[in-house]
Amino acid sequence: MAGEDELKLLGTWASPWVSRVKLALHLKGLSYEYVEQDLDNKSDLLLTSNPVHKKVPVLIHNGKPICESVVILEYIDEAYGTTGPSLLPTDPYERAIARFWVDYIDQKLVIPWKVAFTADGEEEKTEGIKQMLAVVQTLEGALKECSKGKPFFGGDSVGYVDIALGGLLAFLQGTEELCGTKPFDIANTPLLLAWVERFTALDAAKVALPDVTKLVEFAKTKRAQMALSIKK
C-alpha cells in the first residue's frame, strides 16, 4: 500500500451494506478510519460526500467519495488490484455471473425479507416469507454452480458474491427471531448452511459483522418505533 493512502468509511454499525465494505477492506488487509454516522442527524461530511442519496456506506479515498456498496466493492478491488486477494474473478464471463448474483441478492432477497419483518397481517407476512425462501432456494442453486464443490461462491477464496451475501449475515442469522422463519435449513439449503458456518468463522466476518443479539434488539426497537409513528 502506498504511503499517504487514506481510507475513511462512513457507516452505521447495523447496516449490512456497510458490513460488506468492512468485509472487503479486511479481506484486502487495508487499514481505514471508521466514522459512525448518526442518520437522524446527518453529518456535513456525509451530506457532501453523498449528496445524491445521503446514505451509508461512503468510502472516502484520499478525499474522494465512492458511494453504493457494490460500487465500493468493485472500486476496492480495482484500486487495490495488487493488494491482497482479488474479490472479483478475472474471467469476464465469471465476472458477469458474479455481478448477476449480487444484483439478484439486492433485487430479490431484501424486499421480501423486509415484508416478512414488518408485515402487519399474517397473510402479508406469510407471503413475504414464502418469497424470501424461494429466493434463498435459488441462491442454494447459485452456490452449487458458482462454488463447483469449493467452499465459497468465489471458489477457493471469498469473492464478490460471498461478500455481498455475507454482509447480510447478521440479519440472516436474526431472521428466525425477526421474521418468524429460519432462512436456511439442512433439508433445503445444506450448502448455504455450511457456507454460513464457514463465512462466520472468517476473521473478516468477526470484525465486520455486528453482534446478532444486539442487532435483533435494535431491529425490534426500530420496528416498534416505526409502527408507533405510523399509528400517529
| Site for another protein, rule CB under 8 A | 52, 61, 64, 66-68, 70-72, 74-75, 78-79, 92-93, 95-96, 99-100, 103-104, 138
CB-nearer residue toward another protein: 96 or 227: 96
CB-nearer residue toward another protein: 37 or 69: 69
* Residue 199 dihedral angles phi and psi, to the nearest 5°: -70, -45
Beta carbons of 131 and 191 less than 8 angstroms apart: no
CB-nearer residue toward another protein: 112 or 174: 112
Smallest distance from another protein to CB 101, Å: 9
Smallest distance from another protein to CB 194, Å: 22
CB-nearer residue toward another protein: 145 or 217: 145
Neighbours of 127 (CB within 10 A): 15
Smallest distance from another protein to CB 77, Å: 9
**Is 39 in a helix, a strand, or coil?**
coil
**Is 8 in a helix, a strand, or coil?**
strand
CB-nearer residue toward another protein: 11 or 210: 11
Q: Is 138 exposed, middle or buried (0-12, 13-18, 19+ CB in 10 A)?
A: middle
Residue type, 3: G
User: CA-CA distance, 56 to 53, in Å (whole number)?
Assistant: 9
Residue 225: C-alpha distances to residues 118, 219, 220 (Å):
11, 10, 9
Smallest distance from another protein to CB 72, Å: 7
Residue 162: CA count within 13 A, CB half-sphere? 31
CB-nearer residue toward another protein: 72 or 133: 72
Terminal-residue alpha carbon distance, the chain: 53
